[in-house]
């Protein structure tokens, strides 16, 4: 085991899009696990859009990161040293850990990953936070039923791609907004979406949606906000449900728009817009994961991961989220998988 | 009974704020009631912001008016001739009738007004559509409970002034946004609001609300939209409820803003935004009116009406709604009350 460890700090808070000045890679000793702690070797690091909010010094649901402190994110890794806490060397675990080669954590803050269930990377994707977000946001908030039209923005992303497939299984017509022709093809041909719209090519989202969702929109899963959401609101049906999961189009705005501007469409349509966080469904995470794993194993639920190699490239992976570089879940492969190690 | 009748037509669809070119007053014969119809002499005509939507040639919950056709609105009047339909001459009725001195309607589309219950004008205000809108929007959608902070925009209007008092009776701290110092005084001193903000004088709505609602906002009854709503969204508490009743700040926009722009605040706060129409609670109108009448009689519920005299001034009364000329319900007195007739 090497005795040196690299980790990323938040060098400064970004104005607008994060860049090289945002991140600093520092080297130091591999940390020692304290009592009840384990030392984890990072295999996969998850980068997620919500992390942009943690770079901002503003109250939000996720605590802001401090400048000069390590960035943290969902990690899948191998326990290499245990000082109690319920895990042994060789165990595969997942938890919220530093963007680092190695990190320590109390065993109580880690969850065991079963390598026989599915590839271990899925513990951060379809069987992880983004899969569960799609699961609860679709089934509990947007609530598509048979015959409904369900629209999802950020449709080829880690959450959107799973949400659309869950809506499809519920019997809905599923329409996605996404950012390239390749992703349109992926959604329509591989995931079974009924239609997908490349928002970077469409001139008029309202018209494009009129064609893709001719019966209007009964349920909308919003990951993006901005003009796409404006257009969807024009098509809401009576008693439509909008699940607000993310607003990625707004996260890098230097001057944050301050609010909703116009909600008039909701009145006549008696529509409901509801923000949610996956953590609120914490008590049912296991149930969700069992269902998701069953669907993955049966082939009913496809998932895709985009993997960038090397911890040093984690900032590029993160910034790429806002450029739509990823299909499905964006991961950084920091170390070898345990089997191959 | 005079044999001439005046009525207002929609002369042309307004761009932006309605003006003299929008309305045309025409004179003709007093109409004859057909079988099952009655002839009603207008006493009070209600003008309401939602009518701006009916002047637009766009799909909405209320059907667009046709150009060169009569405008219609809630009327309280006296039956002067009956051709069946369950009413007799001398009865006081309310219904959706033309902006006219006289109008015919099927008896089945009219409701009896009890002149002993309250002044008959209240059949269009606190015991009419606006009172019921406040009743259901507050109790069923915004749902303030004891200890909550409840904010209402358009607070001194026909709906807002009643909504705030109902929230107060539910035990909430009540804060209103309104458009003059006189209205601030009215809300605080006469209606018992805990605080009111004059949005025409306040430089920074977010800061003003931080002071008026130091514990954040649990329930928001929105009649206005735009920057006031943007500011309220900054203060939403966990599990906040937003009832979207109207968006008067947007109705005269020449280019309608197309949608919500940003809904990010809803995510962390798991807040719900719900549009509603009072018609959805139709089955419970009688129940609402009984409760409202009881409160009015006990003095628990204050109401205010702003009355402009003369049918010819109905357009001014309507346009004045968008300038905030009214305190409480805006009415046009078209004819004498039955007792005085």
Q: Tell me the nearest-neighbour CA distance from B129 into chain A, angstroms.
A: 16
- Option in B232, B270, B276 nearest A276 (CB): B270
Residue A257's pLDDT is 67
Residue A321's pLDDT is 97
Domains of chain A: residue spans and CATH: 4-125+304-340 (3.90.180.10), 129-280 (3.40.50.720)
- The overall average pLDDT reported for chain B is 95
pLDDT band at A341 (very low <50, low <70, confident <90, very high): very low
pLDDT band at B3 (very low <50, low <70, confident <90, very high): confident
pLDDT band at B314 (very low <50, low <70, confident <90, very high): very high
Q: Would you tell me which residues 204-223 of chain A have a C-beta closer than 8 angstroms to some C-beta of chain B?
A: 206, 222
Lowest mean pLDDT among A61-65, A103-107, A181-185, A311-315: A61-65
Residue A137's pLDDT is 98
Give me the numbers of helices (H) and strands (E) for chain B, helices first please.
Answer: 9, 15
Tell whether A258 lies on the interface with B, counting CB pairs under 8 A.
Answer: yes
Enumerate the residues of chain A whose CB falls inside 8 A of the CB of residue B263. 222, 225, 229, 242, 244, 247, 260, 273, 275
- Option in A233, A250, A261 nearest B226 (CB): A261
- Option in A61, A262, A276 nearest B260 (CB): A262
Partner-chain contact A246 B269, CB within 8 Å: no
Selected for mutation to probe chain B from A151, A237, A262 (highest B CB count within 10 Å) is: A262
Is the sign of the CA dihedral B197, B200, B205, B208 positive or negative?
A: negative
Per-residue pLDDT at A340 exceeds 80: no
Instruction: Dump the DSSP string for A138-179.
Output: IIIII---TT-EEEEESTTBHHHHHHHHHHHHTT-EEEEEES
Q: How far is it, in rounded angstroms, from Cα B225 to Cα B231?
A: 10
Partner-chain contact B259 A60, CB within 8 Å: no
Enumerate the residues of chain B whose CB falls inside 8 A of the CB of residue A272. 272-275
Give the residue among A102, A154, A92, A179 at the shortest CA–CA distance from A128. Answer: A92
Q: Tell me the nearest-neighbour CA distance from B239 into chain A, angstroms.
A: 9
Residue A134's pLDDT is 98
Q: What is the pLDDT of residues B35-71, one digit of tens each?
A: 999 999 999 999 999 999 999 988 778 889 999 999 9
Per-residue pLDDT at B27 exceeds 90: yes
Per-residue pLDDT at A336 exceeds 90: yes
Tell whether B263 lies on the interface with A, counting CB pairs under 8 A.
Answer: yes
Per-residue pLDDT at B340 exceeds 60: no
Q: Tell me the nearest-neighbour CA distance from B161 into chain A, angstroms.
A: 20
Tell whether B234 lies on the interface with A, counting CB pairs under 8 A.
Answer: yes
Q: Are A297 and A322 in contact (CB under 8 A)?
A: no
Partner-chain contact A231 B274, CB within 8 Å: no
- The overall average pLDDT reported for chain A is 95
Q: What is the pLDDT of residues A32-80, one digit of tens each?
A: 999 999 999 999 999 999 999 999 988 778 889 999 999 999 999 999 9
pLDDT band at B256 (very low <50, low <70, confident <90, very high): low
Structure-block tokens of residue A40: 């984890």
Residue B237's pLDDT is 96
Per-residue pLDDT at B341 exceeds 50: no
Mean per-residue pLDDT for B87-97?
A: 97
The rounded percent of chain A whose pLDDT value lies above 90 is: 91
Q: What is the pLDDT of residues A181-229, one digit of tens each?
A: 999 999 999 999 999 999 999 999 999 999 999 999 999 999 999 999 9
CA B148 to chain centre: 25
Residue A256's pLDDT is 65
Per-residue pLDDT at B255 exceeds 90: no
Partner-chain contact A230 B261, CB within 8 Å: yes
Q: What is the pLDDT of residues B124-175, one digit of tens each?
A: 999 999 999 999 999 999 999 999 999 999 999 999 999 999 999 999 999 9
The rounded percent of chain B whose pLDDT value lies above 70 is: 99
The rounded percent of chain B whose pLDDT value lies above 90 is: 91
Per-residue pLDDT at A255 exceeds 80: no
Q: How far is it, in rounded angstroms, from Cα A145 to Cα B45?
A: 44
Crossing angle of the two packed helices B285-298 and B129-136, in degrees rounded to 10: 100
Enumerate the residues of chain A whose CB falls inside 8 A of the CB of residue B151. none
Q: Tell me the nearest-neighbour CA distance from B326 into chain A, angstroms.
A: 22
**Tally of CA atoms within 13 A in the half-sphere of A210 that contains its CB:** 6
Enumerate the residues of chain B whose CB falls inside 8 A of the CB of residue A206. 258
- Option in B233, B269, B274 nearest A259 (CB): B233
Q: Are A155 and A176 in contact (CB under 8 A)?
A: yes
Tell whether B279 lies on the interface with A, counting CB pairs under 8 A.
Answer: no
Give me the numbers of helices (H) and strands (E) for chain A, helices first please.
Answer: 9, 15
Partner-chain contact A264 B250, CB within 8 Å: yes
Per-residue pLDDT at A292 exceeds 80: yes
Q: How far is it, in rounded angstroms, from Cα B127 to Cα B113?
A: 10
Enumerate the residues of chain B whose CB falls inside 8 A of the CB of residue A262. 225-226, 247, 250, 256-261
Q: What is the pLDDT of residues B190-249, one digit of tens each?
A: 999 999 999 999 999 999 999 999 999 999 999 999 999 999 999 999 999 999 999 999
Q: How many CB atoms within 10 Å of residue B190? A: 12
| Bridge partners of residue A274, in order along the sequence | A243, B272
């Amino acid at each position: 085991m090497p005795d040196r460890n690299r980790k990323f700090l938040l060098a400064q808070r970004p104005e607008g899009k994060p860049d090289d000045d945002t991140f600093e890679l520092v080297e130091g000793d591999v940390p020692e696990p304290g009592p009840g702690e384990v030392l984890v070797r990072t295999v996969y690091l998850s980068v997620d859009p919500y992390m942009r909010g943690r770079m901002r010094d503003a109250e939000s649901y996720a605590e802001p990161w401090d400048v000069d402190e390590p960035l943290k994110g969902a990690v899948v890794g191998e326990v290499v040293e245990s000082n109690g806490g319920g895990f042994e060397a060789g165990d595969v675990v997942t938890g919220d850990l530093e963007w680092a080669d190695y990190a320590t954590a109390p065993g109580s803050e880690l969850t065991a990953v079963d390598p026989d269930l599915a590839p271990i990377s899925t513990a951060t994707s379809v069987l992880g936070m983004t899969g569960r977000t799609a699961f609860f946001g679709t089934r509990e908030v947007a609530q598509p039923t048979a015959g409904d039209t369900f629209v999802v923005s950020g449709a080829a992303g880690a959450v959107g791609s799973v949400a659309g497939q869950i809506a499809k299984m519920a019997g809905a017509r599923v329409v996605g907004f996404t950012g390239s022709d390749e992703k349109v093809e992926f959604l329509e041909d591989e995931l079974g979406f009924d239609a997908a719209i490349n928002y970077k090519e469409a001139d008029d989202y309202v018209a494009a949606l009129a064609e893709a969702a001719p019966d209007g929109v009964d349920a909308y899963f919003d990951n993006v906000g901005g003009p796409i959401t404006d257009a969807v609101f024009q098509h809401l049906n009576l008693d439509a449900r909008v699940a607000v999961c993310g607003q990625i189009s707004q996260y890098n705005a230097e001057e944050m728009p301050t609010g909703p501007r116009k909600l008039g469409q909701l009145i006549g349509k008696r529509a409901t817009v509801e923000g949610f966080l996956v953590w609120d469904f914490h008590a049912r995470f296991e149930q969700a994961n069992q269902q998701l794993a069953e669907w993955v194993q049966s082939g009913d639920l496809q998932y895709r991961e985009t993997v960038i190699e090397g911890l040093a490239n984690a900032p590029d992976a993160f910034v790429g989220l806002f450029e739509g570089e990823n299909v499905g879940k964006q991961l950084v492969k920091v170390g070898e998988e345990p089997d191959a190690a």
